[in-house]
Chains A and B, each alone.
Chain A
Amino acid sequence: MKFYIQIKFLLVFALFPFSLFSQELSMSSLFIPKALKENANAVVRLNEKTITLDDFDHITIQEKTIITVLNKLGDRHIDLFKHYDNDKKITKLSARSFDAFGNQTKKYSKNKFDDYSAANGLYTDNRVKHLNYTPNKYPYTIVFEYETKSKSTAFIDPWYPINGYSISVEKSIYKIINDKKLTIRSKEKNFEGFSIENKSKDGNIHFELKNQKAIKHESHSPSFSDILPNMLVSLNKFSLNGYDANASNWQEFGKWMKTDLYDSRLSLSEETKLKAKDLVKNENDPIEKAKIIYRYVQNKTRYILVAIGIGGWQPSKAEDVDKLGYGDCKGLTNYTKALLDVVGVQSNWTVVYAKNKKNIDKDFTSMQGNHMMLNIPNEANDIWLECTSQTIPFGFLGRFTDDRDVLVLTDKGGVIKHTAIYKNETNSQQTEAKIILDTNGRINATVNITSKGIQYGDRYRIIDDTKEEIDTYYKNTFWDYINNLTIETYDFNNNKDEVVFKEDLKIFATNYASLLDKEMLFSPNIFNKYTRLPTRYRNRVQPLKIGTGFKDIDNFEIQIPETYKINQLPDKTIIDNEFGHYECSVKKTTPTTLQYNRIFQLNEGLHPKESYSKYREFIKSIIKKDNTKIALSKK
């Protein structure tokens, strides 16, 4: 799957009027309160953003940011760049640097900034002005100021007063000046527990956050936007690159997007229409028809990032994608929809946040999302099509877009729906292996692995890899703990209809068992060791989030050398708790055969921070059990 971020979505603008800035704030970094330096690589001394709504189609953004960087990890918080395009002009831009004592060391005006294309794909109109700053000594302070003017009011910068980990905030101010009394909606999230003051009045918005200590990053935490304060803002009447809109709810918003930006992009040549009809001529079932069209699109097209027109919001015309054989997510989704329309299968454009799991906010209507896919209504079992991949099975989403709220553009307007959920046990991996251990400690084995659900999505793409890449994958990634591994043969079966991936391998590994005078030691869990021990935190702050659940089943039959005998074996282990289930056992089935069985199911879930150490202990004991060795003694 291709990861696509539309640049506009990501821009977190910040604004501020230069003249309003008061000089009381010392540029010296000597007097920063100690509490703000704890765990911090940088301190936001001030971030003041003022958004002036000149009209529904005219917006001025001013921002001033003063950041003191304490060490080299803090350098990345100095974002000395600003994007612009045909619609958005940078009217002011400057930066100044100060040493620890507050003496100004450098000053950069607008023309000192480099100017280049923001393209990371084939083309985009978006450009960026950027300043490359080499710090002199730590700590140092940077003042960055700019002003932009834009005719598009569709995205109003949200407020993220705490914009990262290991950075503290002395003061963050967010203002919207709305002299025209335009209808604004706003939504506050995760404000509780933070010192935020609401100073809004007279239809203007004004929030301030003060003296926020740096937050440490902790693994297995909920996502940033789920724990830190943020505020979304939107206008009911707004403009997007000259397209005016009026929408106060998702139904109206979806209707506008569909009729103004999308409906006109569907036309196809008569020849293509005939071809599409011809492809499905023997099918009556709409789902089967959709499968045929989807396969046709997958074979014909590929993903190329092109962001042109209406801020990158409007898809290329279906007839162009038909002609070129490539497009971005919008273009390819729109093309698939156009073909489905021709063969009489109903489908809907769908806006989604792809990759990192994030919902389109169902209660707050505004420009959201960073990706597009297709929805086919199907009673309670809607089908979702990812149109940027040439290989993904029909209706399969994987980690990219699973289990989240999305905006579906239906004939009746926008509707929020939830994509397919892959629950714990559906993400399965079953490994069956027959192993022969010889007197030199070498193992020869046949291994069969069957993966489903999210684990299918993680795995199936190796089928397209080269022999060397496959070899490297097993040796360096999948079985990196097996030394001296040789992959003798491999065979893959990708069943796209059932969404099942099978790997059949023949392998050997020398020196697998370690040889002692009278004994041989080896770990019977040869092919599925869990190795990722969560980091130990002395004071866990954030809740524990287990993102994706799974279920692994392992059954290994191990043939030992005739000259050795099996002694006492470890007892069966069963661990059950709120995080999941683990069991493993090893049994003697014949005098020279061992049977190893293991089940590990991890449950997706959100737990209070107190559960973290218990979870870590759970994983630690699993790692220990997975590494348990048994001793065979010489007869």
Chain B
Amino acid sequence: MILKLYSEEGFKHAQEKIHLYQKGGKDEKATSLKAYTYTLENGKVKKYKLSKDQIFKEEASDHYSIKKFTMPSLQKGAIVEWKYTITSPFFWHIDKQVLQYKIPVKKAFNNIKIPEYFVFKTHMKGYLSIPFLETQKSRDINYSYRTEIQPGIGGQGAKRYSDVLTFFENCYKINLTNVPAIKDEPFVSNLNNYKSSIDFELSYTDFPNSTREFYSTNWNAVCKDIYSSTKFGTELNKHNYLKKDLATLHLNDKTENQKLIAIFNFVKSKLNWDKTTSKYTKFGVKKAYKTGVGNSADINLILIAMLRESGLNAQPVLTSTKDYGIPLFPTLKGLNYVIASITTTDGNNILLDATEKYSAPNILPRRALNWSGKIISKNGDSETVSLIPKKHTTKTLRLNAKINKNLTANGMLKTSLSGLNALEYRNENNHLSEEKQILKLEKKYEIEINKYRVANKNNTLKPISCLLSFENSDDLVEKINNKIYINPLLFLSTTNNPFKSEERNFPIDFTMPWTNTYKSNITIPENFTIESIPEAIGIGLPDNIGFFKYTITQQGNNLLTQATLQFNEAIIIPKNYQYLKKFYSKMIAKQAEKIVLVKK
């Protein structure tokens, strides 16, 4: 690694952490570490060596140790260089080769040589195309061995032989120049999905005189591999531990849907997610069931086993969480999560994730809404299923307000939330005291709330419904020169454009399609009359990505406003960014237009 440091801000890059894995008495080693700082002083290059006592080894945990160092004698314009060798006994694992960073790379050179006995697949990721050169070269290894002493009369002594092994090596060479820096943007769920990298995954081993041993080649093989693991298939097929509890649910006469709900709720309340994600069980289903704590596989495999035991057609769905990245290629490493799927008798698929207390059938937590998953059937075959709900998550706000003669306002706001919106609302608010929730809303809307009520707090099959009332709000209308100006949506107006940057490199990720509806009904004071109201508007985005509709109508002393903002796509590609930015800007400008009242 050679880095040039242009500013003090850049000094933080002049340090290295080498993670070394250790397991089962084997460990990785970092050796031949050399590091220098070069500076230009009075026209002469000065070289500072990193001394040995400044390399620190930290036993970070049972499985990792970290070698750390930071470069000496830095100054603006300095160049630092380091070099080390890692020797690893874990031959099946090659570290992911990251080729793009938050700072630009002038030159990147990777050379990977793999003996023919190990066949690795390569996975490329990122927006940048990575040209790499694949060649085969012959290599010789000289080795020697000894025979055992032969037993029997006239037995020979040990004999020493030496030989040469000739084999091919697959060589991968990557030679990149001028790799631009990668920068984070709002509404990007996981920047690593776009960072250029190349990953190697062991596909099979093929040693002379032995059969090929396959690891993962296609999705079917990957799924079969996972399915046959003792921490997956074996765990999934255990069911004696849950029979007793299942009987207490009395499901025999129940419908398919009633069974599903009863078991789902039972597992959700019995098991608590330890916040770790994996496709393999951590504690094992029996232990998890007994202690009530499990990882994603423990909990959802229990759920599936229980559903199956009650006669439902349930299967595991292998997937990865949003923060883990999107697996674009058949990969064992790329999967880190498992949920459940039910195929109903009428052929519908229902997805379930029991790690999340407030999830519901087909309403998964945000982390699981990552592209697609693989349903695994009982014989280990797999099939792709989309995880993104087709139904929009909705938020509907209905506001009734009366403007009094003294220009204060009283009113009520009803909010309904469905789908992911409801799940996240429950997660963020259900444990808060009413007082705290009121304070939050007062901050958000800048009103003073006198009553607040939430319905369906814990009934995840129904939408959340909140009702609040406010009184004597004195800053909802504005009086200028004997005229009154009112925002048609009062405090519900969207005033801030989340898309501020001039350009966009990566897709915008809304996680799923959504619809927000705002309705207001404002009663104006009797001694005033309407001078003007904003015109209705409808704006759309290309390819039916989304739209905004806005209408205002007058009914006597009442003004009815309705606004709908809808996105039909979860992901919006950067090509459409400028449209989106203008769309928001128009929408905000429209909502800033006022209703004007004059005295009668």
Q: Do A and B come from one complex?
A: yes
Listed in ascending order, the chain A residues whose CB lies under 8 Å from chain B are: 39, 71-73, 105-106, 114-117, 119, 122-123, 132, 134-137, 299-300, 302, 304, 323-326, 390-391, 464-465, 468, 471-472, 475-476, 480-481, 483-486, 510-511, 514-517, 519, 521, 533, 535-536, 538, 567-568, 570, 624, 628-631
B497–A631 contact, CB under 8 A?
A: no
CB distance from B35 to the nearest CB of A (A): 12
A71–B431 contact, CB under 8 A?
A: yes
A122–B448 contact, CB under 8 A?
A: no
Enumerate chain B residues within 8 angstroms of A472, measured Cβ to Cβ: 500-501
B9, B431, B433, B495: the one within 8 Å of A483 (CB): B495
Given contacts A136-B292, A136-B293, A324-B72, contact A536 B500 (CB under 8 A): no
B501–A471 contact, CB under 8 A?
A: yes
A325–B496 contact, CB under 8 A?
A: no
**What are 7 residue pairs bridging A and B, where the CB atoms are less than 8 Å apart in the complex?**
A72-B431, A115-B62, A325-B73, A326-B74, A511-B589, A536-B439, A629-B478
B48, B68, B433, B589: the one within 8 Å of A514 (CB): B589
Enumerate chain A residues within 8 angstroms of B73, measured Cβ to Cβ: 300, 323-325
B272–A324 contact, CB under 8 A?
A: no
CB distance from B592 to the nearest CB of A (A): 5
A132, A510, A533: the one within 8 Å of B585 (CB): A510
B206 at the interface (CB under 8 A from A): no
Q: Which of B401-409, B479-487, B557-565 contacts A (4 or more CB under 8 A)?
A: B479-487
A122–B8 contact, CB under 8 A?
A: no
Q: Which 3 residue pairs spanning A and B have beta carbons closest together?
A: A325-B73, A123-B56, A134-B274
A123–B594 contact, CB under 8 A?
A: no
CB distance from A424 to the nearest CB of B (A): 27
Enumerate chain A residues within 8 angstroms of B60, measured Cβ to Cβ: 116-117
User: For residue A515, which residue of chain B has the nearest CB?
Assistant: B593
B228 at the interface (CB under 8 A from A): no
B160 at the interface (CB under 8 A from A): no
B439, B448, B481, B497: the one within 8 Å of A568 (CB): B481
B61–A629 contact, CB under 8 A?
A: no
B56–A122 contact, CB under 8 A?
A: yes
Given contacts A134-B275, A464-B9, contact A475 B442 (CB under 8 A): no
A325–B72 contact, CB under 8 A?
A: yes
Enumerate chain A residues within 8 angstroms of B142, measured Cβ to Cβ: none
A302–B74 contact, CB under 8 A?
A: yes
B70–A326 contact, CB under 8 A?
A: yes
Complex CA gap A567/B480 in Å reads: 10
A135, A514, A536, A538: the one within 8 Å of B593 (CB): A514
Enumerate chain B residues within 8 angstroms of A538, measured Cβ to Cβ: 435
Taking CB atoms and an 8 Å cut-off, the chain B residues in 419-440 that contact chain A are 431-433, 435, 439
B372 at the interface (CB under 8 A from A): no
Complex CA gap A135/B271 in Å reads: 10
A-B pairs with beta carbons under 8 A, tally: 130
B75 at the interface (CB under 8 A from A): yes
A106, A134, A516, A535: the one within 8 Å of B594 (CB): A516
User: For residue A389, which residue of chain B has the nearest CB?
Assistant: B8
Enumerate chain B residues within 8 angstroms of A114, measured Cβ to Cβ: 61-62
Enumerate chain A residues within 8 angstroms of B48, measured Cβ to Cβ: 325
B480–A122 contact, CB under 8 A?
A: no
Interface string of B571-600 (1 = CB under 8 A from A): 000000000000001001100111010000
Enumerate chain A residues within 8 angstroms of B431, measured Cβ to Cβ: 71-73
B183–A468 contact, CB under 8 A?
A: yes
Complex CA gap A359/B223 in Å reads: 62
B442–A535 contact, CB under 8 A?
A: yes
Taking CB atoms and an 8 Å cut-off, the chain B residues in 58-82 that contact chain A are 58-62, 68-70, 72-75
Interface string of B4-43 (1 = CB under 8 A from A): 0001110100010000000000000000000001000000
Known: A475-B501, A519-B596, A533-B446. 8 other contacts (CB 8 A): A122-B56, A123-B58, A132-B274, A300-B75, A324-B72, A516-B594, A533-B443, A629-B478
Taking CB atoms and an 8 Å cut-off, the chain B residues in 487-505 that contact chain A are 495-497, 500-502
B150 at the interface (CB under 8 A from A): no
B384 at the interface (CB under 8 A from A): no
How many residues does chain B have at the interface if contact means C-beta atoms less than 8 Å apart? 58
Taking CB atoms and an 8 Å cut-off, the chain B residues in 502-528 that contact chain A are 502
Complex CA gap A568/B482 in Å reads: 10
Complex CA gap A567/B593 in Å reads: 20
B291 at the interface (CB under 8 A from A): yes
Complex CA gap A464/B72 in Å reads: 22
Complex CA gap A39/B496 in Å reads: 34
A123, A134, A521: the one within 8 Å of B68 (CB): A123
A299–B593 contact, CB under 8 A?
A: no
Enumerate chain B residues within 8 angstroms of A476, measured Cβ to Cβ: 500
CB distance from B587 to the nearest CB of A (A): 11
CB distance from B388 to the nearest CB of A (A): 28
B11–A464 contact, CB under 8 A?
A: no
B272–A134 contact, CB under 8 A?
A: yes
Enumerate chain B residues within 8 angstroms of A471, measured Cβ to Cβ: 501-502
B439–A624 contact, CB under 8 A?
A: no
A122–B585 contact, CB under 8 A?
A: no
A116, A475, A514: the one within 8 Å of B592 (CB): A514
Enumerate chain A residues within 8 angstroms of B593, measured Cβ to Cβ: 514-516
B70, B433, B475, B500: the one within 8 Å of A122 (CB): B70
Complex CA gap A265/B453 in Å reads: 65
CB distance from A518 to the nearest CB of B (A): 8
Enumerate chain A residues within 8 angstroms of B7, measured Cβ to Cβ: 464
Enumerate chain B residues within 8 angstroms of A73, measured Cβ to Cβ: 431-432
B175 at the interface (CB under 8 A from A): no
B433–A39 contact, CB under 8 A?
A: yes
Enumerate chain B residues within 8 angstroms of A135, measured Cβ to Cβ: 272
CB distance from A167 to the nearest CB of B (A): 14
B273 at the interface (CB under 8 A from A): yes
Complex CA gap A471/B15 in Å reads: 28
Complex CA gap A73/B427 in Å reads: 11
B480–A630 contact, CB under 8 A?
A: yes
Complex CA gap A137/B270 in Å reads: 9
B54 at the interface (CB under 8 A from A): yes
Given contacts A123-B56, A624-B475, contact A485 B70 (CB under 8 A): no
Given contacts A483-B496, A516-B532, contact A117 B272 (CB under 8 A): no
B481–A567 contact, CB under 8 A?
A: yes
Enumerate chain A residues within 8 angstroms of B495, measured Cβ to Cβ: 481, 483
Complex CA gap A105/B56 in Å reads: 41
B442–A536 contact, CB under 8 A?
A: yes
User: For residue B442, which residue of chain A has the nearest CB?
Assistant: A536
B8–A326 contact, CB under 8 A?
A: no
CB distance from B157 to the nearest CB of A (A): 51
User: For residue A71, which residue of chain B has the nearest CB?
Assistant: B431
A39, A132, A302, A570: the one within 8 Å of B8 (CB): A302
B74, B480, B500, B588: the one within 8 Å of A325 (CB): B74
Enumerate chain B residues within 8 angstroms of A391, measured Cβ to Cβ: 8
Complex CA gap A325/B75 in Å reads: 9
CB distance from B374 to the nearest CB of A (A): 28
A521–B589 contact, CB under 8 A?
A: no
Given contacts A117-B58, A122-B68, contact A106 B478 (CB under 8 A): no
Complex CA gap A258/B31 in Å reads: 41
A119–B292 contact, CB under 8 A?
A: no
Given contacts A39-B433, A511-B592, A629-B480, contact A521 B485 (CB under 8 A): yes
B8–A390 contact, CB under 8 A?
A: yes
Taking CB atoms and an 8 Å cut-off, the chain B residues in 244-300 that contact chain A are 272-275, 291-293
Complex CA gap A515/B589 in Å reads: 9
Interface string of B517-560 (1 = CB under 8 A from A): 00000000000000010000000000000000000000000000
CB distance from B429 to the nearest CB of A (A): 11
B58–A475 contact, CB under 8 A?
A: no
User: For residue B57, which residue of chain A has the nearest CB?
Assistant: A123
B585–A514 contact, CB under 8 A?
A: no
Enumerate chain B residues within 8 angstroms of A486, measured Cβ to Cβ: 502
Enumerate chain A residues within 8 angstroms of B480, measured Cβ to Cβ: 521, 570, 629-631
Enumerate chain B residues within 8 angstroms of A119, measured Cβ to Cβ: 58
Counting chain A CB atoms within 10 Å of each CB, the highest count among B62, B442, B594 belongs to B594
